[in-house]
Amino acid sequence: MARKSIEQRIAELEERKKTLKARLGKQERAQDTRRKVLLGALVLHRLENSNDADFTRRLGDWLRKELPGFLTRDGDKALFDDILQPASSPEGISSGNPE
């Protein structure tokens, strides 16, 4: 059995390094996506289930201010239509439009 030359071994190790770097990149992208999904789930949960009305209002106001500049595609904006709509007035407070 012939021994591999140093050049062959280096080439194999470089290929292995390339494969491992690609795997690491894929793993890091998956972790980044998972973090974003979990953070989004937390924000939506707080909007829908918070017992702190002031916090919910402030969070909604902040999202309505920040999301339009962050979302660039129409399809993405459509996903957040429910959040981007102006906050409804609490019952009993006139909005200035007589009915």
Determine the Cα–Cα distance for residues 26 and 7; give it in Å rounded to an integer: 29
Nearest to 60 by CA among 72, 73, 50: 50
For the segment 21-80, what is each residue's pLDDT rounded down to a tens digit?
A: 999 999 999 999 999 999 999 999 999 999 999 999 999 999 999 999 999 999 999 999
Q: Provide the CA 13 distance to its chain's centre, in angstroms.
A: 36
| Confidence check: pLDDT of 2 > 80 | no
Check: pTM over 0.75? Answer yes or no: no
| Confidence check: pLDDT of 94 > 60 | no
pLDDT reported for residue 93: 37
| Confidence check: pLDDT of 95 > 60 | no
